[in-house]
Amino acid sequence: MLSQKARYALQALIELGRAGADAQLTAGEIAARSRTPRKFLEAILLELARRQLIISRRGKFGGYSLARAPEKISFAEVIRIIDGPLALAPCASQLAFRKCDDCEDLETCALRPALLRARDATAAILEGYTLVQAVEIGGPPVLPEPA
């Protein structure tokens, strides 16, 4: 299941994509546009900057911008950064494989084939879906009401 943290991360990145290639948004602007709690969002933005999905600039004219073009950032990449592997069980993960604690034999496990297929299908969809598609679906940016 997709965590709320991953949802907020995706929404923030979509808003940065909507803002345009040269645009820079503050954490407050991103929070307002994505309807995300600012305090929670700031921790997410820090993680996204640390993992080089966004660029953070400090100072009076600081803010955040995408580190790459929106078509180069897949939903799968963001979800893996925030929530970890896409697989439903560690034995089905390509990036974080380990044998399940209660598994006697990977080769005879009745669950693993279905888990592998689910992982493959999920990864294929999420790897192929990028921020640019989400930006196009979402329409124009949602601007906060003037104070």
What pLDDT, in 10s, does the model give residues 16-31?
999 988 889 999 999 9
Which residues have C-beta within 8 Å of that of residue 43, sequence separation ≥ 6? none
Structural domain spans, the chain: 1-73+131-147, 85-129
Which residues have C-beta within 8 Å of that of residue 17, sequence separation ≥ 6? 66, 70, 131, 132, 134, 135
Separation of alpha carbons 4 and 9, rounded Å: 9
Q: Are 53 and 67 contacting, i.e. CB atoms less than 8 angstroms apart?
A: yes
Q: Are 75 and 63 contacting, i.e. CB atoms less than 8 angstroms apart?
A: no
75 pLDDT band (50/70/90 cuts)? very high
What pTM was estimated for this model as a whole? 0.85
The CATH architecture that domain 1-73+131-147 belongs to is Orthogonal Bundle (1.10)
